[in-house]
Every structure is written in C-alpha cells, then in structure tokens.
C-alpha cells in the first residue's frame, strides 16, 4: 500500500493514502494531540465529522486545523497544539 510521509513534532511518520491526520495518529495509538486553553486538559477526537472543533492541531504553521477532516499530504509538518496555538 502506498503511504504518505509526514512528521509529528518533527518525528517521521507515515499515513495511508487519503488518511486523515486524526486517523493516522490514532492508528499509532496517539489519542490526544491538543491541550485546552484554560485548564490544559488533553483533547483528541470527539465528533470526528468536523463539527466540534475538539481535534485541533497545527498544520504547516497554521493553528486550529481540524485533524478529523484534513487529509495528510506528503511532507506535512504536523504539530501538537497547546491552547490557542498562537
């Protein structure tokens, strides 16, 4: 199966073709990739369909990208996000 290279906080990883960022991370057992802005509580997938904005992640320098509806592209620089991500 062809797969797509990307990095999470600089660590090389591979996703399946057309896989979302959230799916790629969860397949590797990574269930949380963000902390909330007030109490720094862990967050990952909640709704999984782009509605709840809980699965936010920083993608190629842009914060607050929804990991659940964003496909991994080759070479993506994915970063865990704390708070508002800016």
Longest dimension (CA), the chain: 41
Q: Mark residues 47-86: x for contact with another protein by CB under 8 A, - for none.
A: ------x---------xx-------------------x-x
The contacts of residue 73 (CB under 8 Å, 6+ apart) are 4, 6
The 8-class DSSP code of residue 28 comes to T
**Cβ proximity to another protein, 32 vs 36, nearer residue:** 36
* Binding test (CB under 8 A) with another protein, winner from 27, 31, 37, 41: 37
Whose CA is closest to 66, among 40, 46, 83, 37? Answer: 46
Least distance (Å) between residue 38 CB and another protein? 8
Note whether 33 and 56 are within 8 A (CB): no
**Cβ proximity to another protein, 37 vs 41, nearer residue:** 37
Residues lying near another protein in the complex (CB under 8 A) are found at 37, 53, 63-64, 84, 86
């Amino acid at each position: 199966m062809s797969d797509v290279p990307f990095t999470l906080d600089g660590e090389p990883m591979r996703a399946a073709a057309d896989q979302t960022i959230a799916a790629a991370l969860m397949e590797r057992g990574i269930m949380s990739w963000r902390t909330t802005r007030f109490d720094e509580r862990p967050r990952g997938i909640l709704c999984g369909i782009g509605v709840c904005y809980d699965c936010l992640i920083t993608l190629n320098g842009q914060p607050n990208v929804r990991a659940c509806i964003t496909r991994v592209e080759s070479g993506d620089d994915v970063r865990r996000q704390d708070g508002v991500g800016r």
